[in-house]
Amino acid sequence: MLRRLKRRELGATPPRSVATHVRGKRVRSIELASHKEIVSAHNSGINSLQIDGSEARYLLAGASDGSVGVYDTQQATTFDSITHTAKHEALFTVDKSVPQGHMYSVSSVQWYPVDTGLFVTGSFDNNINLWDTNTLQVEQQFRMPGKVYAVAMSAMATTHMLVASGTEDVRVRLCDLASGAFTHTLSGHRDGVWAVQWSAASEWVLISGGCDGAIRFWDIRQAGCFQVLDQNRSQLGRRPPIVKSVPGATASVSGSSRGESLRVHRQGEQQHSRLNTPPPIRRKFRAKDFEAQRQHPGMVSTLDKATAHYGSVTALQTTDDGLYLFSAGTDSRVRLWDMQSGCNTLVNYEATRIRTHQGTQLAVSSDSSLLFVASAHSIQAYDVWTGHLHSKLSGHYDTVNCCAFHVNDQELYSGSSDRQILVWAPPAHTPLEDLDEKTKEGGALFVKDEDAWSD
């Protein structure tokens, strides 16, 4: 570490390299925190967690009993001097006793991206609520045609205030918070939608995953989806067109590379001109070709049978730079997709045990080096680029439903059906005042050998 600091002072390494190294080292050493505890105020399992993006301080949690709680992750409510644990109790909770509150399980929560004055919740009571954190009242309510499994808002949007919703209905609907009305209905899935995620590179691109195993990309400025991910498509780039055989050419070339196909095509043209033979006559334009080009993009997407998973898509998560997409399904597989080409990167993540009755939440570290996946009663941390299992975080007594990563502190928060919210953090440094019983001798640090038994 001192060597890295010296190289940074001499200008041999970029200034941010040391900070990146420290953050990466901290996130790879996270364990169950003994110095920090979230005191859950819910009477049922935790389904969704999110940390606000404006201050990176407040944790929003939704539970199966219809309650929603907000916790301050920086300022502790009480401090236990015996266990040296800082306890963070809920700042407030809202439940079914509030007018227009959720009557059934809250499946998804979402902070308003600009500030912490508003947050959005989706529930199995077919409602999406917009809450005011100051008055703790519902400001707007959208009635959906079925159970709400997921809600999402774009973190980089500057021209719209749209909430994307995935329900048990086959259509993805967009709710406008400014007008209080539905603005878009996106048709293409053949079953319910469990996961929705806005792109981190464009405020107009929405990604949805359904129970039909399909992941679809939508540009809300045009009709229909423009891309459907296929788990069997892993070749980067597009294959060049097939060049037909010409007189004097050896054979028809399928074109394994673009340069080779162009070279054969030019040779054919030279041979045509040398033999004074006319070029091949182009096929006449037909009216039905024009009709095929004008076919509605939404109709084309419904005929596409490509699937990203063999089961339902339960979770979607993009990297911070918006270049890669993670997906998880009920087939107990996690896949990494290249957003630009839409190809499966074929990173082999070890099999997980993902719940099959509703959506889940994935979390990615700030440097995109570790992926956290809820698997049965534990959380599995995978190396993003190799797929190897880095560590297994065990501490819950029931199925883990969601997890959220804190970028500033390199902490992980997880919610489970055991009604608890656990904190996973790097090992805390021992304060100087706690070193009274430790002495330095010969450059080493050791603890005095004393009787710890009570008389």
Specify the CATH number of the domain 30-233+306-426: 2.130.10.10
Segment 48-57 mean pLDDT = 93
Question: Which sequence spans correspond to the domains of the chain?
Answer: 30-233+306-426, 235-303
157-169 per-position pLDDT tens digit: 989 999 999 999 9
Which pLDDT does position 383 carry in this prediction? 94
> Higher model confidence: residue 304 or residue 276?
304
pLDDT of residue 265: 45
Distance CA 436, CA 24 (A): 32
Confidence tier at 272 by pLDDT (50, 70, 90): very low
Chain position carrying tokens 């095929």 = 292
State what percent of residues in the chain have pLDDT above 70. Answer: 76
pLDDT of residue 454: 47
Cβ-in-10-Å burial (0-12, 13-18, 19+) of 309 comes to buried
pLDDT band at 72 (very low <50, low <70, confident <90, very high): very high
pLDDT tens digits for range 397-453: 999 999 999 988 899 999 999 999 999 999 876 444 443 444 344 444 434 444 444
Q: Write the pLDDT tens digit of every residue in 107-164.
A: 999 999 999 999 999 999 999 999 999 999 999 999 999 999 999 999 989 899 999 9
Helix (H), strand (E), coil (C) string for 315-364: EEEECCCCCEEEEEECCCCEEEEECCCCEECCCCCCCCCCCCCCCCCCEE
Range in 26-30, 220-224, 230-234, 284-288 with the lowest mean pLDDT:
284-288
